[in-house]
Each structure stands twice: as C-alpha cells, then as structure tokens.
Amino acid sequence: MRVDLFAVDEIVLAFETDDRLDLAIEVSEECLGFRELFTPLERKLGIAPGWYNNVMSPAFATNYRVIFERSDGGDGS
C-alpha cells in the first residue's frame, strides 16, 4: 500500500494472517532491510518483479494492492 503523508509518500508491506488470528505485520520502506525483502518475495512467492513500481503510482494517493494471496487454504499443503 502507499500512504499519502502530505509532503512525502510511504510504501508499506503488510503481511496478514487468516481472519481467525486477525494479525498483520507491517514493514515500512523506511525500515532497515526493506529492499532486501524484494528478492525473497519475488523468488519464494513468485511476486512479479515490477510490484514496487506498480504500488508507487499514482503519486500521493493511497494505493492498496494485493501482491500475493495464498490459495492453498493457509495450511501449507
């Protein structure tokens, strides 16, 4: 998601569990190691390499995008 902070934007990755746990972990682009997440997200989860650029547009607009959704029911099988 992209969050409009008036003078700057902030891109945040939100990792959510299933609805039963109602848990989310958010990682801001301001966090140390944010860009180091790109390769594992792309290699392990098959996320398209252009995801970051897609989230960046349009500028200064909240832009929610689902870049990965588990389709196996969440049990890892």
Q: Is the pTM of this model over 0.75?
A: no
How many structural domains are present in the chain? 1
Q: Provide the residue range defining the domain that includes 44.
A: 2-56
- Categorize the per-residue pLDDT at 72 as very low, low, confident or very high, splitting at 50, 70 and 90: low
- Is 12 inside any structural domain? yes
Is 15 contained in some domain? yes
C-alpha to C-alpha distance for 19 and 61, rounded to whole angstroms:
27
pLDDT of residue 2: 66
% helix, strand, coil for the chain, step of 5: 20, 20, 55
**What does the pLDDT look like over 3-39, one tens digit per residue?**
666 677 888 998 887 777 778 889 999 999 999 999 9
More confident residue, 67 or 18: 67
Residue 42 resides in a domain: yes
Residue type, 38: F
**Is residue 47 domain-resident?**
yes
- Report yes or no on 67 lying in a domain: no
**Cβ–Cβ under 8 Å, residues 2 and 62:** yes
